[in-house]
Amino acid sequence: MCGIIGYIGNKEVVPILINGLKRLEYRGYDSAGICVLCKNKLQTLKKKGQIIELENELIGKEIVGTIGIAHTRWATHGEPNEINSHPHLDCKNKIAIIHNGIIENHFSLKKILEADGHKIISNTDSEIVAHLIEKFYNENLEEAVIKAIKYIEGTFGLAVICETEEKIIAVRRGSPLIIGIGDNEMFVSSDASAILEYTKKVIYINDNEIVTLTKNNYNVKNLDGNLVNSEVQEIKWNLNEIEKAGFKHFMLKEIYEQAKSIENTLRGRIRENKIKLSVDIDPKLINKIIITACGTSWHSALIGKYLIEKISGIETCVDYASEFRYRNPIIKNNDLLIAISQSGETADTLAAIRIAKNCKTLGIVNVVGSTIAREVDFGIYLHAGPEIGVASTKAFTCQVSALILFALHLRQELGLELDFGLINELILISGKINSILDKADKIQEISSHLKDAQNFLYLGRGINFPVALEGALKLKEISYIHAEGYPAAEMKHGPIALIDENMFVVFIVNRGEIFEKVVSNMQEVKARGGSIITITDCPDDEMIKKLSNFIISVPNTCEELSPLINVIPLQLMSYFVADAKGLNVDKPRNLAKSVTVE
């Protein structure tokens, strides 16, 4: 959701900013812009489209300097065009800002500023910030920013430069912001990926903190102007983790990384026949578990409910974070709220943990140092490594793995016997995932028959119903084909009306007690002319062979772990369909990674 980067130092700033924008492009990619303090004047260039368009536009332009800010946009207010893209400037072109977030009271502020004589030229909520700072500017940028943001309602990660001061001011409320500390150079960015190749020393800025960067120094203050002691932390990721490593897309690379990333989630957490998690919660005192999340993470949450209830017997409910936060949920003191988020910055999930003030909170998060990770009482990091592809893949399987560990941990702390068959199978799961990835060619071949389809249904049952939801989400978000997930048995309550010879239906069918029932659902589809793609660990079953147009066989595993296996062909299928359609898999239209606005 918009990426921001700023640099101050001795080096030529434009390549650093463009490079940073490319790393941040997964956060937004409908327009981009750059502003450099060049010979005591602010020089700005903006361009609709991807960073490459901006980069091409810069060729032959004399924009040089060692201080600058840049932004890649995911439009919320105002269409993607040059005027609406950032940086935004004040009336005299002396102050430039980049903004991630939403200024909720921008209409009322705009009226006040226009009455004061300010000329606001864009349709964005962000531009008013430049004019507010201009209003308060009196030869001290930091003071002007502090005064301006007192009038702002909403969320912001802001970076500001001005023609007459050699510094960058950055401030946040509700949108992520980190500072990178280099040798005689400083960076500000929405996330670590943009600065990782220059420095690993970072400070995670908290809400209502303001930072002043000069090339040799930084200070972090609260909004009363008092210095704050901020911890300098070391980023653990390496540069090669945020590069494509020979894969055509980040999504494909991340699909292939899953065996390894699950091993990283499990690493050190199963030892001496025990589950070792630093989650100091006595499950005997838990009344109920509430899991909240959005999108793919919400699908993991649904699997988490199934796992926790089955393995530990503790009642668990799941809520979309966006619904939970606005419906006055009943939260008892002895409830446990779990927030699942890859980015750790999703605005709705963050808001959900903030309303759960009276109970303990646990975060299952990938990005170390993210806001959710810092605000919860306990955390389980995924250690999946950076997920850059907008469509979440490895975060999903690592979230499910973390939830299995947590369910086992609860059971262990309740004093109940652990199922070592399940634990051993969990340890072996990476090998089984790799065996599916080895058959990607076959899945690609099947996908080539699907690229012109208009509609898909994904059907699964029990713990694999959320996998059906996830398969449908993956397909629609990157291939723009309409797809819906349902519990297989629900089909006859409505969706069956959609089935005709143009409908593709993906079934997830594992051996087990409901096998026959799902096969009956397959028959119902076949009888109505639908085409069936079956993901199954029983590829040789006569009925499966008879009913399926395409079969993707997967290794057998225990029910609790089957989502980790079944989701892999669904991810690959979505990827190959979207790629066969020639779509930009890593940057699907209208989407952005890390939804930091409501």
Active site residue 593: yes
Q: Judge if the upstream peptide bond of residue 87 is cis by omega within 30 degrees of 0.
A: yes
Q: Segment contacting ligand F6R (CB under 6 A): 89-97, 266-274, 292-300, 377-385?
A: 292-300
Smallest distance, Å, CB 386 to ligand F6R?
12
Is residue 595 within the footprint of ligand F6R (CB under 6 A)? yes
Residue with smaller CB distance to ligand F6R, 13 or 595: 595
Q: Which residue type does 92 have?
A: K
Residue 155 as a binder of ligand F6R (CB under 6 A): the answer is no
φ, ψ of residue 471 in degrees (nearest 5): -60, -45
Nearer to ligand F6R, 134 or 345 (CB): 345
- HEC-encoded secondary structure of 7-34: EECCCCHHHHHHHHHHHHHHHCCCEEEE
CB nearer to ligand F6R: pick between 155 and 342: 342
Identified catalytic residue from 2, 162, 294, 359: 2
**Angle, vertex CA 53, rays to CA 13 and CA 162, nearest 5:** 35
The SS3 assignment for 258 reads helix
The distance of closest approach from Cβ of residue 454 to ligand F6R in the complex, given in angstroms and rounded to an integer, is: 21
DSSP label at residue 389: S
**Phi and psi torsions of 354, nearest 5°:** -75, -25
Q: Which residue is nearest to ligand F6R (CB)?
A: 295
Q: First vs last Cα of the chain: how many Å apart?
A: 11
Is position 2 annotated as part of the catalytic site?
yes
> What are the DSSP E strand ranges found in 449-499?
455-460, 482-487
Compare residues 134 and 477 and give the one whose CB is closer to ligand F6R: 477
The residue from 50, 212, 296, 312 that contacts ligand F6R (CB under 6 A) is 296
- Which residue out of 46, 432, 587, 593 is catalytically annotated? 593
| Total residues in contact with ligand F6R, by rule CB under 6 A | 15
- Nearer residue to ligand F6R within complex by CB, 3 or 65: 3
* Cα–Cα dist 177/220, whole Å: 12
Query: Which of 283/588 has CB closer to ligand F6R?
Result: 588
- Find, among 482, 504, 478, the residue nearest to 582 by Cα: 478
Smallest gap from residue 28 Cβ to ligand F6R (A): 13
Q: Please check whether residue 292 is in contact with residue 321, taking contact to mean a CB–CB distance below 8 angstroms.
A: yes
Cα–Cα dist 162/156, whole Å: 19
Q: Taking the complex as a whole, how short is the minimal distance between the CB of residue 392 and ligand F6R, in angstroms? A: 3
Whole-number minimum distance, CB 265 to ligand F6R, in Å?
Answer: 15
Which amino acid is residue 371, in one-letter code? Answer: T
HEC string of 263-277 equals HHHHCCCEECCEECC
Q: In the complex, what is the shortest distance from the CB of residue 55 to ligand F6R, in angstroms, rounded to a whole number?
A: 26
Minimum distance from residue 322 beta carbon to ligand F6R (Å): 10
252 binds ligand F6R (CB under 6 A): no
What is the side-by-side order of every strand in the sheet holding 289-293?
316-320, 289-293, 336-341, 360-365, 378-381
365 has which bridge partners? 341, 381
- Say whether residue 294 binds ligand F6R (CB under 6 A): yes
Tokens found for residue 525:
């589809």
Nearer to ligand F6R, 350 or 488 (CB): 350
Write the interaction track for ligand F6R spanning residues 477-506; mark x where CB under 6 A is met and - where it is not: x-----------------------------
Query: How do strand 455-460 and strand 503-509 relate by DSSP bridges?
Result: parallel
Stretch that binds ligand F6R, among 21-29, 221-229, 295-303, 427-435 (CB under 6 A): 295-303
Q: Give the sign of the dihedral formed by CA 246, CA 248, CA 254, CA 259.
A: negative
Cβ partners under 8 Å of residue 467, min gap 6: 299, 303, 460, 508, 562, 563, 566, 567, 570
Distances (CA, A) of 302 to 39, 367, 402, 514, 593: 56, 21, 13, 19, 21
Query: Do 325 and 347 meet the contact criterion of CB atoms below 8 Å apart?
Result: no
Q: Which amino acid does the sequence have at 318?
A: V
> Binding residue for ligand F6R (CB under 6 A) from 297, 371, 557, 574?
297
Which of these segments, 141-149, 337-345, 499-507, 557-565, binds ligand F6R (CB under 6 A)?
337-345
Q: Which is nearer to ligand F6R, 411 or 593 (CB)?
A: 593
Rounded Cα distance, 85 and 122, in Å: 9
Residue 345: exposure state from Cβ atoms within 10 A (0-12, 13-18, ≥19): buried
Q: Per CB under 6 A, which region of 55-63, 66-74, 221-229, 294-302 contacts ligand F6R? A: 294-302
Q: Give 36 or 293: the residue with its C-beta nearer to ligand F6R.
A: 293
Q: Are 378 and 386 in contact (CB under 8 A)?
A: no
The nearest distance, CB 344 to ligand F6R, in angstroms, is 7
Among 132, 594, 596, 597, binds ligand F6R (CB under 6 A): 594
Query: Contacts with ligand F6R in 223-242 (CB under 6 A)?
Result: none
Q: How far is the CB of 391 from ligand F6R (least distance, A)?
A: 4
User: Residue 306 or residue 396: which is nearer to ligand F6R going by CB?
Assistant: 396
5 φ/ψ angles, rounded to the nearest 5 degrees: -145, 140
Q: Which is nearer to ligand F6R, 399 or 557 (CB)?
A: 399
Among 51, 391, 436, 488, binds ligand F6R (CB under 6 A): 391
Q: Which of 85, 175, 316, 392 binds ligand F6R (CB under 6 A)?
A: 392
* Tokens read off for 322: 């966006």
Minimal distance, residue 343 CB to ligand F6R, in Å: 3
Question: Binding of ligand F6R at residue 566 (CB under 6 A)?
Answer: no
Residue 311 sits in the site that holds ligand F6R (CB under 6 A): no
- Told to check if 537 binds ligand F6R by CB under 6 A, we report no
Q: Scan residues 338-377 and list those touching ligand F6R (CB under 6 A).
A: 341-343, 346, 349
Here the tokens at position 261 are: 């990333």
The answer to whether 35 and 161 have CB atoms below 8 angstroms apart is yes
Is 66 among the residues that bind ligand F6R (CB under 6 A)?
Answer: no
Q: According to CB under 6 A, which residues from 422 to 481 bind ligand F6R?
A: 473, 477
Q: Distance (Å, rounded) from C-alpha 571 to C-alpha 271?
A: 31
Please, what is the minimum distance in Å from the beta carbon of residue 539 to ligand F6R? 28
Is residue 84 a contact point for ligand F6R (CB under 6 A)?
no
Alpha-carbon distance of 102 to 104, in angstroms, equals: 6
The set of catalytic residues is 2, 593
Site residues (vs ligand F6R, CB under 6 A): 294-297, 341-343, 346, 349, 391-392, 473, 477, 594-595
